[in-house]
Every structure is written in C-alpha cells, then in structure tokens.
Structure 1
Amino acid sequence: MSARGRTVSAERKSAAEVLPTDPAAIELVARGRLEVEGRLVDASNTTLFCAVSRAGVEAKCVYKPVSGERELWDFPDGTLAGREVATYLVSEAAGLHVVPPTVFRDGPLGPGMVQLWVDTKDGDDLVDVLAPREVPPGWRRVLRARDRFGDPAILTHADHPGVRLLAALDVVINNADRKGGHVLHGTDDRVYGVDHGICLHTENKLRTVLWGWIGEPLPEEAIEAFRLTRSALRNRLGEELAEHITRAEIKALEGRLEGLLTEPVFPAPGSEWRVIPWPAF
C-alpha cells in the first residue's frame, strides 16, 4: 500500500492484517516489540515504519520518536507525539474510532508515538484534485484553482459518512493540518485520520481540505459523540489528556464541544488564518 504522503523507503514484510477495531490492537502497539523496517520519506518529522509483535501476533505500525520532532514556535508546549495520542483519546471517548490505535511509549530511538498502520483500498482516495469534468457525482467541491499547466482544477472530497465524522472531529480537536493524504479509506471500509501532531491548540487554527459541509448540520452520530466526550472530559478523559496537553488546551477543547453542541453545524472558514494546509496532500 502506498497512500499519498505515506511512501515507505523499505520493502514491507508480509504480516496478517490487524484491524484498528480489533480489541487486541491497542495492547499490541503499546507492549509489542518494535523493529524498524523503513522510513516514511515524505514526513517532515522523523517517521519510522515498523513491525510490532507480541504473543505470536505481528502487525505494522508508525513510530514517531520525540527526538525526531522539529520545534514549532506556535506549538511550544508538550510534544507532537503527545498531541497525536491526545487526539486518539478524544476519538475513543467520543466512540467515533476514526483514529487508529495510538500510544505514547518507548522505542528504538526513545519515547514517542506508536500508531497501528492502516492498510487502504488501492485507487480509492477520498480526497483528490481533479479537472472539473472528472469530479465524481455527489463529491463536495472545496476549492477552484489551476494546475501547473494553467488548466482548471478542483480540490474535492467524497461525501462519505466516515469523512463527515472525521471532519466533525477535526473541528473539535482544532486540527491545523488535515491534508488529503491524512484521510484513509481502510480495507475494512472504515475511514481513518492520521497525523495529528498539530492539534488541540487554544487558538482557532482549523486548516483542512474537508470544508465540503460548511453551514450544514452535524450528523446525529457526531452530536451524540460530542455529548459523550463532554461528559468524559469532566472525568477520566481530562486526567488522561493532562499528560499530553496543557490545562488551557483542555479548557479550549471543552469550549469547542460546548459551542458545537449549542450550534451543531459545520463552521465556515475564518478570515484571520490560512484555512487549507500547504501542501494539500
């Protein structure tokens, strides 16, 4: 498998597929033995492709050591790895399960984030840049532009229930970098989001390619999920998040949840910041 932005620089070994929804997956990535097999060459921070094995079960995973992170002036607190784990915890508390099992643990290059690898359906991208005549029926058009030859091009994404839920989660976690290559259509037909290192800031920084539902109501599943998250945040989830993000960021997360539950619609882009990541994939 090679999804945009996830090219691996080493040949993969065969392993039985462990699905993200498998109850044993979180224990596997948390306690399994890591063996580095290659590097994701398109990543801006050190991102290693690994095998993880435990009790006769083997899978593939991504390992991002804190030692390989570049400092970001606007995300000075905690670690990018910790923010990835925090996003997984929010997704799980919401019952959405749109982030693959993710843990903070030790590895060959020190502490970092380990996340189960998601195999995807070949040729089944959920986000794309296409000529206007090539946009599939029902897809949401986000941005009109021109390609490197000067021809019209459309940034577009599927009107898929899983993508819609992921877009709703992005509003809650204040995702500052939802690229097209971060939206995966798994072989289990579920939608997953990856690469959440710059999320959960106190200031509004939502940058995403998933703007296709501006002003439309949130799905009922998302509304119920955010009610669950709000409740969990006042209990164990808040304590778990405090290990990875600041108290102010937890408070801001609670504020975004309250705002969406009061007015459950997809927001419009702001005018104070760039609202589509660059590059978009």
Structure 2
Amino acid sequence: MSAPERIPPRSVTADPVAVDLLTHGELTVRGRIRDASNAALYCTVTHQGREAACVYKPVAGEQPLWDFPDGTLAQREVAAYQVSEATGWGLVPVTVLRDGPYGEGMVQQWIEATPDTELLALVDAEEPEPGWKAIGLAEVGDGKTALLVHADDPRLRRLAVLDAVINNADRKGGHLLPAGGRLYGIDHGVTFHTEDKLRTLLWGWAGEPLTEEARTVLGALRETLKDGGSLATRLAELITPAETEATRARVDALLTAGTHPEPGGEWPAIPWPPV
C-alpha cells in the first residue's frame, strides 16, 4: 500500500479538501499536548489516501469554567473558525466538530509554525520603535520592568479585529502561529460570551481608526449575521441565540465607532500568562 498523501496547511481560505479530511477521516491519537489547560490530543487523520496532522479536543476533557457553560468550548472553537472564514482572512485553521475516540470534540488542522518575523518583544525603552506597537509594561525580575510590544503587522491587525468580533478572552502570544507567510490564531474556546471579556496582547491599535479593509469586512459580516444569513445559520448550531445577537451587536459597535476597541477597565485587559 502506498503512503498516504500529506496535506500541507492551506494557502487559501475555505479548503474543501481539508474540511472533508478532518470531518470524515479516521482519527488516530499520537500523543497529548501537555501544556494545554484542557485535554488536547495530537492526532493524525486519514481519509481516501490522504493524511494530515491535527489537534483533537474532546468535550469530555474540558475543565469547567465559572463564566462559561460546561461542555461548550469545542463549539466555540468551531464558531470562531466560521467567523474567520466569513471574513475571508483565513485566520483560524480548518476546524470542525465531530465524534472521535473520546466522544464529540473539536478537530483542528495542525499548523507547524515557521516564524518569518518577530511578533512580540520586550524592549528597554519608554516608547516602541517604528514598526512596533506598545502593549504595556511587564515585570522582568529584580524590580525591573520592560515595555512589551507587538509588531505593527497587518496580519496581527486583522486578528485584533477578529478577536473584537468574537470577544476573545484569551489572546496570548503562544496562540499566534506564523506559517508560510500567513498568520493563524488558535485556542478560541473562551469566546462569544454575551458580556465584554476581550483580553488580548493586541492592544497596540486601541482607539485608532479601523482600516478601510476592516470596515469592508465588518460590513459584510453584518449582512451575513442577519437573521437567515449564512453565518447566522451556521452559528445557530454552535452558540446560543443571545451569543449570536451579541456578536451582531459587537460588529455594529465597531462599525459605528470606526475604531479599534480600547480596554474597558472592568475586566483584565491582558491574559495571564501573556505568552
């Protein structure tokens, strides 16, 4: 028997081959990702002579959270992928909800990070250099602090807009995966809450005007999130009606303000640990 064809990370949005493979392929658990807070299993998936690496997070392995309903994190990960696809930016790896060796869970295409540029840095300065955006001061030991900065990168800026739409409560540095010139964001289990819980490292554009591209994308999202819209229909299978309505409201608020959101003050603005 010939070796299965390896499917590389997609280079375009909405890869039907990867979706079919992850949805219908046979999952084989190869190991556990130890630094994940919930059960996250490294797997291979094979189907019709194709094979790819993936991550499988069974609902049964989710840790209870005080502010999110139990057993809903996998659905939220898939919902984040659906919103990412609707933007056309392809910022979230292909993600599906399906049965697996340990029951229903999220299965997501594995992305092997190949950093092409530095995205985060600590600098001994009061202001960031050109090409960088300030996040805030961070303790570096011995009572000293340094300025935490992120790159002024259009890929990160798109991700900041997506996070504002899905109300991402946990955008850490370790969730940023550059690969092949693209940038992917992963770990979207704590998203879509009806209350404002945006916590992110990507505050560098806070209060700045949205790009024309972002406004165009948000306008298209508003249409597809209307009752009966294609995205609204897909989200109805994954999150509650109130959470979908809150997503619509966040898109409307972004378009009305015309700027990137700023920290609200009622919720920690930066996740911990930040990386």
TM-score by length of 1: 0.89
CA contact under 8 A between 1:66 and 1:110: conserved in structure 2?
yes
Q: CA deviation at 1:52?
A: 1.3
* C-alpha distance in 2 between matches for 1:158 and 1:122: 13
Q: Which residue of 2 aligns with 1:158?
A: 151
Q: Which amino acid in the other structure matches residue 215 of structure 2?
A: I
Q: Which residue of 1 aligns with 2:234?
A: 240
Residues 1:267 and 2:258 aligned together: no
Q: Which residue of 2 aligns with 1:116?
A: 109
Distance 1:209 1:96, change over 3 A: same
CA contact under 8 A between 2:64 and 2:70: conserved in structure 1?
no
Distance 1:41 1:77, change over 3 A: closer
Q: Structure 2 residue aligned with 1:27, among 20, 26, 37?
A: 20
Q: CA deviation at 1:119?
A: 1.5
* C-alpha distance in 1 between matches for 2:63 and 2:122: 29
Q: Which residue of 2 aligns with 1:91?
A: 84
- Per-residue Cα deviation, 1:176-202 (whole angstroms, up to 9, x for no partner): 00011111111x211111000000110
Q: Which residue of 2 aligns with 1:8?
A: none
**Cα RMSD after superposing both structures:** 2.0
Q: CA deviation at 1:63?
A: 0.6
3-state SS, counterpart of residue 198 of structure 2? coil
- Per-residue Cα deviation, 1:56-104 (whole angstroms, up to 9, x for no partner): 2211111100000011120116510000001111111121211110000
Q: Which region of structure 1 is more displaced relative to structure 2, 210-219 or 194-203?
A: 210-219
TM-score by length of 2: 0.91
Q: Which amino acid in the other structure matches residue 278 of structure 1?
A: W
Q: CA deviation at 1:20?
A: 5.7
Q: Which residue of 2 aligns with 1:63?
A: 56
- Per-residue Cα deviation, 1:168-226 (whole angstroms, up to 9, x for no partner): 1101111000011111111x211111000000110000000000001111122221111
Q: Which residues of 2 match residues 221-240 of structure 1 at below 5 A?
A: 221-234=213-226, 235-240=229-234
Q: Which residues of 2 match residues 110-259 of structure 1 at below 5 A?
A: 110-122=103-115, 124-132=117-125, 137-186=130-179, 188-234=180-226, 235-259=229-253
Aligned length: 267
3-state SS, counterpart of residue 113 of structure 2? coil
Residues 1:102 and 2:58 aligned together: no
Structure 2: stretches of 5+ with no match in the other structure? none
Q: Which amino acid in the other structure matches residue 183 of structure 2?
A: V
Higher relative contact order (CA 8 A, sep 6+): 1
3-state SS, counterpart of residue 142 of structure 1? strand
